């Protein structure tokens, strides 16, 4: 019995954990952190950073000498010159050779040093690009998160309106049956109930679409079970909004990576100009090589007088009109086995070393054209830096103006809501005593509902636009107002 109780306990514990996992609600901090970890665009940008690190290793490796080893073994079959006797013979010979070569750049117009410095700048640029991508994703996630909260609250407003209309329909139906109000009022209320149901459906669809948008940013597949925590955001005035736009812009120049990225790109372009100019200067390179070889053919170990042909004619002379043959002794070689391979490697080794100086004289103007291209690229990067500063200034002023306008719109919407609520309550009192028809009452109720939705819309619009201003001021996107 105890074993059964234990099994039931663990089963209930598992089901509780499973249910809790199914109903997990994400906070904005969790959404942003998950997006930064799993977003595809961020992963691609991070791979660019890894490539920049590899380029730096390549630039560092160019300072090291190049060392290469070679080895070969060959067979020569057929009519070949016998290296032992010097005669053409049909035979099979084998040769083995090995070598080692090394070279090092001593001077090449400081191109190696400038390439290494450029690689360091490229890493910084890639890091800035990754930071910018993360900031953009964070803003998009925050916007999508706030959109879900707005749609959630809007669903509550629309459902509350639907519930009021359904109650009004039941009450009007009773009054129609009692003969207190005309049947046309009931039809108007019925149409209003149907319209309210459509608004609820539209609000629920907008909520699902907003969840889908955020789930895609987070790279989640099951967006149907995805939901966010019901966090409370107050539309209070941010401390950043008490700053001047110029102060926010100056702060953004220090905090934002857009300008830093553009400045780094200018420095990279300057290094490219120096690298291109280095091609005009002479290059000095040191080299060294070692080689050895071994053969497997028989070798001459001595000689002996040929008994069959002891002499051989090597020429002729004329004496007193007579031509006399000039002969010498005819020796034939005594062949022996080849020396051991390692002995031959030791005897046949050789070294070669020296320096090579290359002075560019005429290369089809390629070096000059490369310098001109680099200068043009440098000017473009300087223009891009100026443009990034102008864009940042425009974006800061635009964000500040939009946030200020959004706050005013929110205040106006709150005032309008209070007025619409009072008007709706007054209309309800008049409708309850029969002094207003159903159509006019529905109009007042619709205006009140629209005012509620407008307050929600302007509230979250202001919160998001304020976050953009805070973002330029260096405040994290996940900080609550």
Query: What is the mean predicted confidence (pLDDT) over 241-266?
Result: 91
Tokens of 100: 């080692």
Report how far residue 320's alpha carbon sits from residue 304's, in angstroms, rounded to the nearest whole number.
35
Helix (H, G, I), strand (E, B) or coil at 155: helix
Report how far residue 411's alpha carbon sits from residue 390's, in angstroms, rounded to the nearest whole number.
32
Report how far residue 55's alpha carbon sits from residue 67's, in angstroms, rounded to the nearest whole number.
20
Query: Which band of pLDDT confidence, cut at 50, 70 and 90, is reported for residue 431?
Result: confident
Look at residue 274 and tell me whether its pLDDT is greater than 60: yes
What is residue 180's predicted lDDT score, i.e. its pLDDT? Answer: 66
Tell which residue, 271, 258, 272, 270, has the closest CA to residue 125. Answer: 258
pLDDT in tens, 304-333: 777 777 777 777 777 777 777 777 877 777
Helix (H, G, I), strand (E, B) or coil at 363: coil
Query: What is the mean predicted confidence (pLDDT) over 136-164?
Result: 88
Highest mean pLDDT among 238-247, 281-290, 302-311: 281-290
Helix (H, G, I), strand (E, B) or coil at 326: strand
Query: Which band of pLDDT confidence, cut at 50, 70 and 90, is reported for residue 300?
Result: low
Query: Which band of pLDDT confidence, cut at 50, 70 and 90, is reported for residue 23?
Result: low
pLDDT in tens, 29-39: 888 898 888 88
Higher local confidence (pLDDT), 320 or 373: 373
Highest mean pLDDT among 238-242, 429-433, 435-439: 238-242
Query: What is the mean predicted confidence (pLDDT) over 12-41?
Result: 71
What is residue 18's predicted lDDT score, i.e. its pLDDT? Answer: 42
Percent of the chain predicted with pLDDT > 90: 36
- Residue 282's φ and ψ, nearest 5 degrees, are -65, 155
On whether the CB atoms of residues 467 and 246 are closer than 8 A, the answer is no
What is residue 375's predicted lDDT score, i.e. its pLDDT? Answer: 94
Query: What is the mean predicted confidence (pLDDT) over 138-142?
Result: 90
Report how far residue 30's alpha carbon sits from residue 390's, in angstroms, rounded to the nearest whole number.
34
Average pLDDT, the chain: 84
What is residue 322's predicted lDDT score, i.e. its pLDDT? Answer: 77
On whether the CB atoms of residues 403 and 469 are closer than 8 A, the answer is yes
Look at residue 8 and tell me whether its pLDDT is greater than 60: no
Question: DSSP string covering 190-246, please?
Answer: HHHHHHHHHHHHHHHHHHHHHHHHHHHHTT-S--TT--B-------PPPGGGGS-HH
pTM value surpassing 0.85 = no
Query: Which band of pLDDT confidence, cut at 50, 70 and 90, is reported for residue 479?
Result: low
Report how far residue 42's alpha carbon sits from residue 136's, in angstroms, rounded to the nearest whole number.
10
* H or E element, residue 76: strand 66-81
Report how far residue 404's alpha carbon sits from residue 413's, in angstroms, rounded to the nearest whole number.
14
Look at residue 90 and tell me whether its pLDDT is greater than 80: no
Percent of the chain predicted with pLDDT > 70: 90
Question: Which of 53-57, 93-97, 412-416, 449-453 shows the lowest mean pLDDT across its residues?
Answer: 93-97
* H or E element, residue 134: helix 111-178
Report how far residue 73's alpha carbon sits from residue 295's, in angstroms, rounded to the nearest whole number.
10
pLDDT in tens, 175-234: 677 776 677 777 877 888 898 899 899 999 999 898 888 888 888 877 677 888 887 777
* H or E element, residue 461: helix 438-472
Query: Which band of pLDDT confidence, cut at 50, 70 and 90, is reported for residue 164?
Result: confident
Higher local confidence (pLDDT), 267 or 231: 267
Tokens of 282: 């002479």
Report how far residue 319's alpha carbon sits from residue 91's, in angstroms, rounded to the nearest whole number.
45
Tokens of 68: 């290469």
Report how far residue 302's alpha carbon sits from residue 280's, in angstroms, rounded to the nearest whole number.
60
What is residue 28's predicted lDDT score, i.e. its pLDDT? Answer: 87
Query: What is the mean predicted confidence (pLDDT) over 117-125?
Result: 94
Look at residue 109 and tell me whether its pLDDT is greater than 60: yes
Q: Where are the domains of the chain?
A: 74-99+282-298+339-359, 300-336
pLDDT in tens, 329-372: 777 777 667 778 788 888 888 999 999 999 988 888 888 999 99
Tell which residue, 134, 57, 53, 123, has the closest CA to residue 267. Answer: 123
């Amino acid at each position: 019995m105890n074993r059964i109780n234990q099994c039931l306990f663990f089963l209930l514990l598992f089901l509780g954990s499973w249910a809790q996992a199914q109903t997990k609600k994400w906070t904005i901090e969790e959404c942003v952190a998950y997006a930064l970890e799993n977003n595809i665009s961020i992963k691609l940008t991070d791979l660019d950073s890894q490539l920049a690190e590899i380029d730096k290793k390549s630039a560092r490796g160019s300072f090291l000498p190049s060392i290469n080893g070679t080895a070969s073994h060959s067979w020569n079959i057929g009519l070949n010159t016998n290296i032992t006797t010097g005669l053409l013979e049909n035979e099979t010979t084998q040769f083995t050779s090995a070598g080692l070569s090394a070279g090092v750049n001593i001077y090449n117009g400081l191109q190696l040093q400038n390439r290494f410095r450029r690689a360091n700048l490229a890493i910084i640029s890639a890091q800035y690009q990754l930071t910018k991508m993360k900031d953009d994703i964070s803003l998009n996630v925050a916007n999508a998160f706030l959109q879900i909260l707005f749609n959630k609250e809007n669903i509550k407003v629309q459902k509350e309106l639907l519930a009021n209309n359904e109650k009004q329909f039941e009450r009007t139906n009773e009054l129609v049956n009692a003969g207190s109000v005309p049947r046309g009022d009931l039809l108007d209320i019925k149409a209003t109930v149907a319209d309210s149901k459509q608004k609820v459906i539209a609000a629920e669809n907008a909520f699902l679409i907003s969840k889908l948008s955020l789930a895609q940013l987070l790279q989640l597949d099951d967006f149907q079970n995805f939901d966010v925590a019901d966090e409370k955001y107050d539309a209070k005035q941010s401390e950043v909004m008490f700053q001047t736009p110029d102060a926010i812009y100056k702060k953004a120049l220090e905090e934002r990576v857009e300008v830093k990225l553009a400045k780094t790109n200018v420095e990279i372009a300057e290094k490219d100009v120096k690298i291109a100019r280095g091609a005009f200067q002479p290059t000095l390179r040191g080299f060294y090589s070692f080689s050895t070889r071994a053969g497997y053919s028989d070798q001459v170990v001595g000689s002996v007088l040929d008994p069959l042909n002891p002499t051989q004619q090597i020429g002729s002379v004329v004496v007193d009109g007579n031509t006399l043959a000039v002969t010498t002794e005819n020796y034939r070689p005594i062949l022996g086995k080849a020396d051991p391979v390692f002995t031959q490697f030791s005897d046949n080794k050789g070294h070669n070393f020296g320096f090579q100086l290359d002075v560019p004289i005429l290369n089809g103007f390629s070096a000059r054209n490369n310098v001109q291209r680099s200068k043009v690229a440098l000017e473009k990067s300087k223009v891009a830096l100026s443009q990034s500063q102008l864009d940042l200034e425009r974006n800061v002023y635009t964000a500040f103006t939009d946030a200020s306008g959004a706050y005013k719109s929110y205040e106006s919407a709150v005032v309008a809501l209070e007025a619409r609520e009072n008007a709706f309550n007054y209309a309800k009192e008049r409708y309850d005593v029969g002094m207003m028809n159903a159509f006019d009452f529905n109009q007042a109720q619709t205006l009140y509902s629209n005012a509620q939705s407008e307050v929600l819309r302007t509230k979250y619009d202001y919160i998001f636009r304020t976050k953009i201003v805070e973002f330029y001021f260096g405040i994290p996107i996940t900080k609550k107002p």
